[in-house]
Amino acid sequence: MKEWYRMAGALMMGACVTMQVNAQTHYGMGAGTVGTRHAFFGTDAGKINTGADNTMLGHEAGTSNTGGNDNTFVGSRSGQFSTGAGNTFVGSQAGVNHLTGVNNTYLGVAAGGSAGMSYNTYIGAYAGTSNGVGQGNVYIGNWAGQYSFDASNNVVMGNTSFKEGSGNDNCIIGRMSGYDSDGNLNVFLGAMSGRLNKGNENSFLGNEAGYSNKEGFFNTFLGSQSGYSSQTGVGNVFLGNKSGYSNTNGHQNVFLGYGAGYHNTTGQRNTYLGYGATGNATLENATAIGSEAKVTANNSIVLGKNANVGIGVSAPSFQLHLSTDAAAKAGSPDWIVASDSRLKKNITDFTDGLHLLKQIKPVWFQYNGQAGIETGDKKFVGIIAQEMQKIAPYTIGTFTHQDSLGKKTEYLDYDANAVTYILINSVKEQQRVIEQKDAELKETNAQVVELSKRLELLERIVASNTAKPLNGSAARIEPNANGVVLEQNVPNGFSESSAIKYFVPQSVKEARVDVYAVNGAKVNSYPVKERGEGQLTISAGDFQNGVFLYDLVTDGKSNGVKKMVVQK
């Protein structure tokens, strides 16, 4: 009997030695025994393994592995159904649903996906748990990429980052960053950055940067909550905390600074630079530059908030300060000003005029280089502010210049606007003088004309009193120099009518009898149509009682005056 036990013991030792040589190490009920260079520890670990160079530690670790080689499964049920090669699964149920994929590394409880994934690295509890066919992913963090079924070539770091995402070639870092992102070629860095993203080729850096982005693409948001509300915007660049915060559908905007473009929602092609620089919600092609600068109209540029702007000067003293006089604009040199009466109050008459204008003394001068005004030897025409201050003080103001050492000096400045209206009033004053002189001259001329008429009438009266009367046939035989005969009215001293006989040559084109009062005023005129001998009958009803003078005028020439008496 003792010999029998001795033989049995020798056989068992030989068997153990043989098993250790072929399987290296296997411990645990049901642990695999087939294959070479393996180490199996745990119940059913490597149970049906036929591959080589596998290490499986834990309850049911690598249970289904058949011909897979170079695997390391550590943890209960880790790699339980895997048949792939070159995989490293560490953690309870790590790679539990993994099937045929190769060269994967899963570290963490239930880390790793299913089906035929390859070349993935998942580190963290439940990292990449449901990834089914994705390749080349790196997920680091608890629940990182947990349900990213078909995502590939992504780098994800942070608890629950990319948890329900999909898409390829993304770099997502931060807690819940890209949580539900489905886009491609995105970069998200910061907690909850790009959380709801569905767009492509976006870069969101900062806490909740691009949080709500859905279908927007080509966007760059840098700063906490920058582009927070963006949904479908395209080609935006927001740099600074809360920059572009309210933007939803705006495109091609550039906002730089804390809160820059905060209120923009659907505006496009706007540029806001500076702390709080912003504009209305729906503007287009607007620019605001400077701290808290705000623009409210399309196609507009606003520089600063109550700021001075210098061009060529380092310490501007005015809202717009140029270093030279080279500014220009087409057309009129004048600036347009708002002048609607609805915009004004306390309106009073401005009456300064010629009395001030005569005191203004224009001069030639050169600037001496102080106050930052350097114009070389160039000469200018202008006034001296101190002199103008005595004449029209409302045209003079002050400005303060601060030099490079911080020293401040106050100087006088000059606003020539009022001088325009002084000139207008001066012209009006001179025009009134001219009009007054014109009126006086017209009155004098009228008096001269009146006197000339009276003189002419007197001459006619004198001539009629001294000339030989022309009556009857004798008169017609002896016409005057114009070939005209004018007879005395008959009867003279009439109450009803009186007849005036005349002779007008056929060559006369126009003839008339003009009747005047003794003061020279014309009271009536009778056209003479007949040529040769004729007679004009005058009614006393056309006149008041008195003495009148009548004259036969032919072709503008007088032919002598006769007296006529009306007695009604």
pLDDT digits (tens, 9 = 90+) for 19-64: 444 446 888 887 878 889 999 999 999 999 999 999 999 999 999 9
Question: Cα–Cα distances in Å, from 262 out to 192, 204, 238, 271, 289?
Answer: 19, 17, 10, 12, 14
The CATH T-level fold of domain 170-307 is Alkaline Protease, subunit P, domain 1 (2.150.10)
Is residue 194 classed as helix, strand or coil in its secondary structure? coil
pLDDT at 462 over 90: no
Query: String of b and e for 208-233 (b: at least 16 CB within 10 Å)?
Result: bbbbbbbebbbbbbbbbbbbbbbbbb
Q: Residues 321-333: what's their mean pLDDT?
A: 78
pLDDT at 113 over 90: no
The confidence score (pLDDT) of residue 262 equals 98
Is residue 56 classed as helix, strand or coil in its secondary structure? strand
The confidence score (pLDDT) of residue 23 equals 43
The confidence score (pLDDT) of residue 311 equals 87
pLDDT by residue (tens digit) across 534-543?
A: 999 999 999 9
pLDDT at 456 over 90: no
User: What secondary structure does DSSP assign to 233-298, as a single string?
Assistant: -BS-EEESTTTTTT-SS--S-EEESTTTTTT-SS-BS-EEESTT-EE-TT-BS-EEESTT-EE-ST
- The Cα 81–Cα 353 span in angstroms is 105
pLDDT band at 7 (very low <50, low <70, confident <90, very high): very low
pLDDT at 221 over 60: yes
pLDDT at 298 over 50: yes
Sign of CA dihedral 121, 127, 132, 133: negative
The confidence score (pLDDT) of residue 463 equals 52
The confidence score (pLDDT) of residue 235 equals 98
pLDDT by residue (tens digit) across 346-389?
A: 999 999 999 999 999 999 999 999 988 888 899 999 999 999 99
Question: Cα–Cα distances in Å, from 423 out to 347, 432, 562?
Answer: 20, 14, 60
Contact call for residues 188 and 177 (beta carbons, < 8 A): yes
Give the residue extent of every domain in the chain. 170-307, 349-418, 472-566
pLDDT by residue (tens digit) across 114-173?
A: 778 899 999 999 999 988 888 999 999 999 999 998 899 999 999 999 999 999 999 999
Question: Which of these ranges, 6-10, 218-222, 272-276, has the smallest mean pLDDT?
Answer: 6-10
The mean predicted confidence, pLDDT, of the chain is 89
pLDDT by residue (tens digit) across 419-442?
A: 999 999 999 999 999 999 999 999
Q: Which of 212, 268, 204 is nearest to 239 (CA)?
A: 204
pLDDT at 453 over 80: no
| Phi, psi of 239, deg, nearest 5 | -125, 115
The confidence score (pLDDT) of residue 458 equals 67
The confidence score (pLDDT) of residue 477 equals 43
The confidence score (pLDDT) of residue 233 equals 96
The confidence score (pLDDT) of residue 3 equals 57
The confidence score (pLDDT) of residue 4 equals 41
pLDDT by residue (tens digit) across 73-112?
A: 999 999 999 999 999 999 999 999 999 999 999 999 999 9
The confidence score (pLDDT) of residue 405 equals 87
Question: Which of these ranges, 44-48, 449-453, 554-558, has the smallest mean pLDDT?
Answer: 449-453
The confidence score (pLDDT) of residue 114 equals 78
The confidence score (pLDDT) of residue 526 equals 96
CATH number of the domain located at residue range(s) 472-566 in this protein:
2.60.40.1930
- The Cα 523–Cα 550 span in angstroms is 10
- The Cα 548–Cα 6 span in angstroms is 188
The confidence score (pLDDT) of residue 336 equals 83
Question: Which of these ranges, 13-27, 169-183, 290-304, 407-421, has the smallest mean pLDDT?
Answer: 13-27
The confidence score (pLDDT) of residue 149 equals 84
pLDDT band at 467 (very low <50, low <70, confident <90, very high): very low
Is residue 558 classed as helix, strand or coil in its secondary structure? strand
